[in-house]
Structures are given as structure tokens and as C-alpha cells.
Amino acid sequence: MIMVGTMAITLWVIGWAMKVPYAVRWNMMAILLVGVMIIHFILPNGHPLRMATGGDARLWAIFFGFGILVWVYRKFLTNLRARVQTQETPAPKSDSFSPTELDRYARHIILREVGGPGQKALRDAKVLVVGAGGLGAPALQYLAAAGVGTIGVIDDDVVENANLQRQVIHLDRNIGMPKVHSAAEAMVAQNPFVTVRPYHRRLEADIAEELFADYDMVLDGTDNFETRYLINKTAVTTGRPLVAAALTQWEGQISVYDPAKGTPCYECVFPEAPDPSLVPSCAEAGVIGPLPGVIGAMMAVEAVKLITVAGDPLAGRLLIYDALYAQTRTIGAKPRADCPVCHGRGLREAD
């Protein structure tokens, strides 16, 4: 018993000194207990090592089972807290801004291109963000901070330790929590005047149209082409403008797709998904941590511009940012008459 306790304390102290995440340290304790139980099953009764570690595997099995119960209970409370906080998010109830809101959004209101009417448009807007990962994290944060009244976020993933290098909306203590609830928790903490709607599930064709119809625009922060093409098709069908971006290693790209306003759709620009070997995932190829913040913030800027009708959005233009060499270039994009999704609708609208 003393031997195992000493080993556990030593591992915990080493983990603390090396700033190993809290969840990882508990995993180390679990591995230690499993190792001790394995020793008890393998070694015969009376073996010195078995006696030094308690002598009976059932004792450690009880500790391990108790630990699992505590872990499950903590996860339940964490998820419940996230849901309750989201449900209690106050929705705007008045046509006028409170003094606190006026002070909060003052830097927007004094902007000529935004002003009071623009800020009210932001408060009345409903924006859906698909993906709460690298691109979704900064986009969600800035949309909430900007005062977008209703923000939906759909993602079926949970927070992992490897996400925290770049997905800055999530915290270490939220490892294992659904990303949509972790993001909602952070957004409400940032701005209690917005309503957040988390959908912990994968976006699929059977729900996409109905979901998109409840929002004014969509931001695509996903990392796979199958979902990107589904988002584009649904955005075209429902007439919703789409702000879409993508990342790889040191480079990011972003554009606004809105065939109803004369622009190409996503499939006009990218008619076929590239070979998977040419576009490895972040897990395979890596990605520099701040890059999603740069491109994700651009997504939020484009959304704010569309809502407030300010400036010139990235419609019909694909902006490419190379962080490694600090270069930015813009490529023009036009609708395709043979596009199977929008059928060159942007060409007709432009005429």
C-alpha cells in the first residue's frame, strides 16, 4: 500500500512540476492502478512484490471502480452545467439597448459603417457556425463579442488535449466535454447578451435544410470536403450566404459564396474534392497555432460586414494568406454555368 501510494504521489508531483494537464495526471493514476491489478493477477499469492502492493487485487479494483464513478459523476455535472448555462442565456427582449450594452458596443456604434442601426442588425441577426474547432473557435468568440444576437453551433466532436494548441475557445478543464457545450460556456461568459444554440451532432443531409432555414447566414469551419459540399448545397437551396474557410499547415483561405447576389457557390470554385493525399488533415500535416485565429477572425469580420452591409465582402474573391512568408493574395472567382449545385445562378443574378 505504502509503495503504491508513494509511486502515485511521485507521478502526480512530477506531472505538476512539468505542467502536465490535470486530466492526463489522472490518466497516469488510472494506468498505475491497472498495472498494480495486473501484477496481482499474474504473480502467485505470497510473492514479495504482490505483498508490497497490498496483497489483494480486489482492494485496488474497489479503488479503480470508485475512481470511475467519480469521473463519470464529474463529467455528468460538467455537461449539465454547460447545458443549464446555455439554456439560461438571456435573449434580447427590448428594441433599445441597455446602458451596459451601449457601453459594451460603443466602439462599434461610433464606427460610421456600423453605428446604432448596424449594431441593432447584429443583435437581430442569427448566424450558424458549422464546426467548433480551429476555425469555429475564433469565429464564435468574435461573433459573440460583437453582439450577434443568436448564434448556433453544430459539431459532434469533444474537446481533446491536442485541440488546445489552436482551438482557444476551449479550456483544459473541458477536455472530454462536447465542443459545442464548451464553446457555448465560453461565449456566454464573454457576452451574456447573446443567445447560443449548441447542437451536439454531425451535420447531415436529413437535418441541414431545416436547420439552415432558421438562420440568416452560415459559416463553414469544417475540415472535410464531404461536409463542405453539403453545407454549400444547403446554403444555395435555402438562399443563405456562406462564409467558408480552410487551413493547411501555414496557409489559409477564405471567401464569401452567395449566388443570390451574383457570386459563385463553393462548388463553382472547387468542382471536385482533391485527392486526400494532397490535402492531409491537421493531425497528419500539422498546423501553426495562431493561423486558425487569423482566418477564423476574418470569417467573423466577413459575417459582421454582411450583417451591417458595410464595405466590400469577399464575394467572388478567394483570399489566400501564407503565414510562413507573410504574403496575402486574392484570386477572382466566377460562377460556372455547368455547376450542378447553383447552375450558374450567380451569372443570371449578375445580369
Q: Are residues 293 and 218 in the same domain?
A: yes
Residue 112: Cβ within 10 Å count: 7
The owner of cell 464546426 is 131
Q: Is the pTM of this model over 0.85?
A: no
Strand residues in 76-164 grouped as ranges (E): 126-130, 150-154
Q: Give the percent of the chain with pLDDT over 90.
A: 64
Q: Are residues 187 and 42 in the same domain?
A: no
87-109 exposure pattern, b = at least 16 Cβ within 10 A, e = fewer: eebeebeeeebeeebeebbeebb
pLDDT one-digit tens code per residue, 258-312: 999 999 999 999 998 887 766 777 777 889 999 999 999 999 999 999 999 999 9
Number of structural domains (the chain) is 2
| 147 band by pLDDT with thresholds 50, 70 and 90 | very high
Q: Are residues 238 and 339 in the same domain?
A: yes
Q: Are residues 336 and 214 in the same domain?
A: yes
CATH number at residue 254: 3.40.50.720
Q: Are residues 112 and 65 in the same domain?
A: no
Query: Is residue 99 included in any domain, yes or no?
Result: no
> Residue 62 and residue 56: Cα distance in Å, rounded?
11
Q: Are residues 204 and 55 in the same domain?
A: no
Residue where a domain terminates, one of 77, 92, 117: 77
The answer to whether 49 and 83 have CB atoms below 8 angstroms apart is no
pLDDT one-digit tens code per residue, 51-82: 666 666 666 667 667 767 766 776 666 666 55
Query: Is residue 92 included in any domain, yes or no?
Result: no
Query: Is residue 90 included in any domain, yes or no?
Result: no
The answer to whether 174 and 198 have CB atoms below 8 angstroms apart is no
Residue where a domain terminates, one of 41, 58, 77: 77
Positions annotated as catalytic residues are 282
- 185 CB-near residues (< 8 Å, 6+ apart): 81, 82, 85, 86, 174
Query: Is residue 25 included in any domain, yes or no?
Result: yes
Half-sphere exposure of 158 (CA within 13 A, CB side): 9
Query: Is residue 247 included in any domain, yes or no?
Result: yes
Q: Are residues 166 and 33 in the same domain?
A: no
The answer to whether 181 and 79 have CB atoms below 8 angstroms apart is yes
pLDDT one-digit tens code per residue, 169-181: 999 999 999 999 9
Query: Is residue 296 included in any domain, yes or no?
Result: yes
Q: Are residues 52 and 197 in the same domain?
A: no
Q: Are residues 332 and 203 in the same domain?
A: yes
Q: Are residues 36 and 180 in the same domain?
A: no
Query: Is residue 256 included in any domain, yes or no?
Result: yes
pLDDT one-digit tens code per residue, 212-221: 999 999 999 9
Query: Is residue 217 included in any domain, yes or no?
Result: yes
C-alpha cell at 165: 494548441
> What domain range includes position 109?
104-350
The answer to whether 215 and 240 have CB atoms below 8 angstroms apart is yes
Q: Are residues 313 and 232 in the same domain?
A: yes
Q: Are residues 109 and 233 in the same domain?
A: yes
C-alpha cell at 53: 502492493
Angle between helices 22-42 and 57-87 (to 10 degrees): 150
Helix (H) / strand (E) containing 66? helix 57-87
